[in-house]
Amino acid sequence: MHTISANELKTKGVSSIESALAQSAEAIISVRGQERYVVMNLDEYNRLRVCELESALYETRQQIAAGAFVEESVDEHLARLRTAAT
């Protein structure tokens, strides 16, 4: 994965990101020598979001199949949330 320094980003702007993403799907931005951020193109980000949502859906279906859910009214749900928050 390519690393872009904050100074390089400041001087070269978006072209430094474009150059890094031409070599790899993601690039790290470092600030004062510390890796702080990751950038990627929007298509890759959207692909990862879809994966994340599919994973959450799979996990939810597994919990439902195992009977790990609560069936309640809206008022009961809100009351349970209030109790859990205290």
Q: Is the pTM of this model over 0.75?
A: no
The Cα–Cα gap between 1 and 28 comes to: 7
According to CATH, the topology of domain 2-40 is YefM-like fold (3.40.1620)
Q: What are the pLDDT digits (tens) for 36-50? A: 999 999 999 999 999
- How many Cα neighbours within 13 Å face the side chain of 33? 0
Residue pLDDT, tens place only, 33-86: 999 999 999 999 999 999 999 999 999 999 999 999 999 999 999 999 999 998
